[in-house]
Amino acid sequence: MMSEQISLEHIKEQVNKLSWHDQLKLISYISERLSDASFDERKEINDSLQKQREKEAKRLLARCKAVESLWKGNFDVVEDIRQMREERDEQI
């Protein structure tokens, strides 16, 4: 069975024939439908984003491990930053 297309203008005309009470019920019905639909859509988008973030995190971790294997020796990051600041201060 094919669904029949109804124009927005036709719907507006029909809504105008409803009592204010039925119009409020219609608003409630439409609002509920849209809320349910938007919740489902948001959930799908969030699930997709979560998967994408997990994939990106794994890729970045793999790159970090690859770079880590290139460096040998002990490093003192705090000391390196202190030295960079001193060098910058000398340039200023």
Residue 1 maps to a domain? no
- Per-residue pLDDT reduced to its tens digit, 42-70: 888 888 899 999 999 999 988 888 887 78
Q: For residue 1, is pLDDT > 70?
A: no
What's CA 42's distance to the chain center, in Å? 8
Residues of the domain holding 17: 8-91
**Is residue 26 within 8 Å of 15, Cβ to Cβ?**
yes
Residue 85 maps to a domain? yes
For 57, how many CA atoms within 13 A lie in the half-sphere containing its CB?
6
pTM for the model stands at: 0.39
Residue 13 maps to a domain? yes
- Number of structural domains (the chain) is 1
